[in-house]
Amino acid sequence: MAIKLSGLAPQNPWWKYENWGRDDYDLKHLDIIFDRKDIEIKDGKLYIIRGIRRSGKTVYTKLLVKNLLEKIDNSRKIIYISCDRHSLGEIKNIVNEFIRRFNGKIVIFDEITYHRNWNILLKELIETTDLTIIATGSNPIGIKERRERLPGRRVEGNEYFLNPLSFREFIHNTIKNKDKIRNIDIKMLVDKIKETTAFSVFNPNIEEAMPFFEEYETLLYHYLLTGGFPDAVLEYIKNDRIDERIYEMMIRLFLGELSKENKDEENGRIIMEKILYSMGSRVDFTTIAADIGLHHNTVREYIELFEDARLLYLLYAWDINKERLSIRRQKKIIFQSSLIPQALYQYLTGCRYDDILDYIDKNLEKIVEQTVLSHVIQSIEKPVVREKHSFAGFYYDSNECDLLIRRNSNFYGFEVKYGRIKEQRYPFKVSYITRDTIDENLYPASLFLLGVEKSEKII
């Protein structure tokens, strides 16, 4: 069968060169390569890496190639296919020729969810070959609906989320690549990061980091500017600011999700505007729908689409007596990265960079709250077996607790009090995340976030 090499060979420069990284399109433009969590790739298994676009999936898979090349005797036994460049039929032909000509062993499908029936191809390959398959995707509908059609297909335990960098990862990578940020001696903190052991959010230990509170507090502000997105972090490390093109990149992600699912751009914009300006407050689909003249089911569909695309988390209120989420009560929405509300604000207002800095300053408490809550969720969640809906919600009666986590039939609350601190009475234990106040159950946000580590299934 005939296949076209044009476009395919450049995607696989290791076929030609030992030092292929300098010729690889995705790696040669990078001044800095961020450290990420390693995953062990075993022969004959299927791995799915899911994450929002521009979170670093492509670069991560290229780094996996570097490691995998050390374990095989012929570089042409690894093939990388950028799936948005080929039809599904072409991809199938490429893989068949790869197996026939080179006795191929490892296939990497980047953005395989670009195609609607990607799961059919994977199912066929799993059943008829002994290939090791690594597939990445950002299409929320494509990957969430169809991954569940692969039970018993060598995928169990091998699905991962790839998220923007956490605060801890941001500091670790910044330390390696920048001497100073606003007069903070970053290099001085390198050993301190290593000494600061990551902890469970249910048992924070911030003592090791306390002497460097001022430095970490300053770094937290700079982290919030980038939201942990690699492009934004690179831009900030080099230029001490975020270029307008970074916000444009984020907006194109948002618009792209709408386009892929044939959703109306204007409806999506209005709904996200409502979410942005109610950030941190309780909302419900019916009220949003009434305000903008849509059916509440339409509003729900859009918000769930944005959640599946990992732009936000939708939290339901817990009924702690029944130990279940109340889907009919008011909801709370959390942006998964602090860069997302900044980009939305720029998109909605057409403002300049200085105006975005002013927006951050005016909404700092809300942005810190969103960042803390998303970090807590990401320290626990795992694809399929422990996704957000199984453990995370919030609580309200006469008082409201920002985040309520169910763990082993017990509930643990997290309240972000970056402004005025007022402890409330709740029928569960609560940790208060503050600006700079410390006590038995009070933890400064910068020191708390420094110790929070992503779950083992989040890269």
Does 153 lie in the same domain as 256? no
Flag whether 209 is in a domain. no
Looking at the structure, do residues 295 and 424 belong to the same domain, yes or no? yes
The pTM assigned to this predicted structure is 0.90
Residue 180 covered by a domain: no
Range of the domain at 273: 239-451
Statement to judge: residues 323 and 430 lie in one domain: yes
Question: How many distinct helices (H) and strands (E) make up the chain?
Answer: 17, 15
C-alpha distances out from residue 318 to 391, 400, 453, Å: 10, 11, 25
Percent of the chain with pLDDT over 70: 90
Report how far residue 281's alpha carbon sits from residue 332's, in angstroms, rounded to the nearest whole number.
7
Residue 234, domain member (yes or no): no
User: Do 156 and 243 lie in a common domain?
Assistant: no
In a domain, 219, yes or no: no
Q: Give the C-alpha separation, 244 to 248, whole Å.
A: 6
What's the confidence (pLDDT) of residue 1? 54
Along the chain (459 residues), what's the average pLDDT of each consecutive run of 10 residues? 67 89 79 84 91 87 91 91 87 89 91 84 89 84 50 74 93 69 63 71 90 90 94 88 92 86 91 93 93 93 91 95 93 96 95 95 96 97 89 94 94 92 89 94 95 92
Count of domains forming the chain: 2
Judgement on whether residues 138 and 249 belong to the same structural domain of the protein? no
Distance CA 6, CA 307 (A): 37
In a domain, 186, yes or no: no
Work out the mean pLDDT of the chain and round it to a whole number.
88
CATH number for the domain spanning 85: value is 3.40.50.300
Whether residue 64 is found in the same domain as residue 150: yes
3-state secondary structure of 107: strand
Q: Are 164 and 228 in contact (CB under 8 A)?
A: yes
Q: What pLDDT, in 10s, does the model give residues 272-292?
A: 999 999 998 999 999 999 999
